[in-house]
A and B are shown apart, each in its own frame.
Chain A
Amino acid sequence: AQKITQTQPGMFVQEKEAVTLDCTYDTSDQSYGLFWYKQPSSGEMIFLIYQGSYDEQNATEGRYSLNFQKARKSANLVISASQLGDSAMYFCAMREGRKTSGSRLTFGEGTQLTVNP
Chain B
Amino acid sequence: KAGVTQTPRYLIKTRGQQVTLSCSPISGHRSVSWYQQTPGQGLQFLFEYFSETQRNKGNFPGRFSGRQFSNSRSEMNVSTLELGDSALYLCASSPPNSYEQYFGPGTRLTVT
Interface set of A (CB-CB < 8 Å, partner B): 33, 35, 37, 42-47, 50, 52, 91, 93, 95, 99, 102-110
* B interface with A by C-beta (< 8 Å): 31, 33, 35, 42-45, 48, 50, 55-56, 58, 88, 90, 92, 94, 97-106, 108
Q: Are A37 and B42 in contact (CB under 8 A)?
A: no
A47 to B3, CA, bound (A): 12
Pick from B45, B55, B99: contact of A106, CB under 8 Å: B45
Closest to A34 in B: B99
Main secondary structure of the interface of B (DSSP, over half): strand
Task: Other than A102-B56, A105-B33, A106-B45, give 11 A-B pairs with Cβ distance below 8 A.
Answer: A43-B88, A44-B105, A45-B106, A50-B99, A93-B43, A95-B99, A102-B50, A103-B33, A103-B92, A107-B43, A107-B44
- Cα separation A108 to B42 with both chains bound (whole Å): 8
- Residue from the list B31, B43, B98 in contact with A91, Cβ < 8 A: B43
CB distance from B56 to the nearest CB of A (A): 4
Residue of B nearest to A108 (CB): B42
**What residues of chain B lie closer than 8 Å to A35, measured between beta carbons?**
99-101
Q: Once the chains bind, are A107 and B42 in contact (CB under 8 Å)?
A: yes
Whether A104 contacts B33 in the complex (CB less than 8 A), given A45-B92, A95-B99, A110-B42, comes out as yes
Bound-state CA distance A104–B99 (Å) is: 10
Within 8 Å CB of A50, what residues of B? 99-100
Q: Which residues of B contact A91 (CB under 8 A)?
A: 43
A47 touches which of B88, B101, B106 (Cβ 8 Å): B101
With the chains together, A47 CA to B99 CA distance in Å? 12
Min CB gap B32→A, angstroms: 9
A95 CB → nearest B CB, Å? 6
| Complexed CA–CA distance, A71 and B99 (Å) | 22
Of A44, A105, A108, which is within 8 A of B101 by CB?
Answer: A105
Across-interface contacts of B102 in A (CB, < 8 A): 47
Complex CA distance for A110 and B44, rounded to whole angstroms: 13
Name the distance in Å between A48's Cβ and chain B's nearest Cβ: 11
B38 to chain A, nearest CB (A): 12
Contacts of A102 in B (CB 8 A): 31, 48, 50, 55-56
